[in-house]
Structure 1
């Protein structure tokens, strides 16, 4: 009776945890979108300076910054370049999260996670119940996996004891 209750609790816990994965990815995507918009705003400000002084050539502006003898100004060239590259990369990731199905997003998230954004998302995460079929599929998968985990933990001591008994019988 207790074993059945524990099995059901593990299953329910698995469903709840795995239901939150799609919801977490949604919130992560929103945070990423905000970060990308912020970067784009910074880049547009750099572009405005390039428009004003370098005939719109942002690379010429960056080159001028790099050539400056003041190390603070030269270092800002690296920051501008990193912002531009970072914005290209984050927009590529956003395309995946906004356009691909959930079954593609989850493995992509696990292999391309941006730790700073994931940490911020986790710190501000508010659990919810997603209402799409894929999310519920992940929930059921989580329930089954946690149930299998429980059964593995429940059977392991019996298997170890059985092997020990066999070893004693052989000796």
Structure 2
């Protein structure tokens, strides 16, 4: 009886953890989108200048600023270069999150920008989403956690000889 309750508790814990996955991925995607739009807004004037004088090439604009005799322009080259690099990073992150759910999940888990992931984690508030993908993640996580923990405990018990009935032991002695 206690084993059934423990199994149920493990399943519930896995379910509650599993339903957080789609919410976290969604929050990460929204954070990337917000930063991406902000980066685009910050580059808007520089894009217009690059379009007018360098056929839209921001790298050529930065190179022009760096080559200038004016120390203010050279200093601005570093600022613009940083904005361009940030915009490219956010565009890549955004593109990676446009694929199927499993690709997005893998990206957030293994390949996401560490700073953005940490920022998302710091601001994340736990939620219970009732969307189909959240329910699927929850059920899969609950079953997996309950199965893995119970299997490990049964293997440890079998190795230690715990849990064998007297009939089984007598049968093996014969």
Per the shorter chain, which TM-score range? 0.7 to 0.9
Q: How does 1:5-154 map to 2 (within 5 A)?
A: 5-50=5-50, 54=53, 58-68=58-68, 74=74, 76-97=76-97, 99-154=98-153
Greater Cα offset, 43-52 or 29-38 = 43-52
Give the C-alpha shift of residue 75 in structure 1.
Answer: 5.6
Separation of aligned partners in 2, 1:86 and 1:112: 17
Larger Rg belongs to = 2
Give the C-alpha shift of residue 82 in structure 1.
Answer: 4.1
Structure-2-length-normalised TM-score:
0.76
Separation of aligned partners in 1, 2:156 and 2:101: 38
Q: Is the 8 A contact 2:62 2:81 kept in 1?
A: yes
Q: Show structure 2 runs of 5+ residues with no match.
A: 162-174
Aligned length: 160
Q: Is the 8 A contact 2:108 2:117 kept in 1?
A: no
Greater Cα offset, 43-52 or 30-39 = 43-52
Q: Is the 8 A contact 2:18 2:138 kept in 1?
A: yes
Paired residue secondary structure (1:32): helix
Q: Is the 8 A contact 2:27 2:120 kept in 1?
A: yes
Greater Cα offset, 102-111 or 43-52 = 43-52
Q: Show structure 1 runs of 5+ residues with no match.
A: 163-171
Give the C-alpha shift of residue 88 in structure 1.
Answer: 3.0
Structure 1's 59 and 157: CA in aligned 2 closer, same or farther, altered over 3 A? closer
Task: Give a deviation string over 1:4-60, Cα, whole Å, max 9, x none.
Answer: 1111111111011011000111011111111111111121132345468x4665444
Structure 1's 79 and 3: CA in aligned 2 closer, same or farther, altered over 3 A? farther
Task: Give a deviation string over 1:88-140, Cα, whole Å, max 9, x none.
Answer: 3422332342x433233111222321111111111111222223222211111
Separation of aligned partners in 2, 1:140 and 1:23: 15
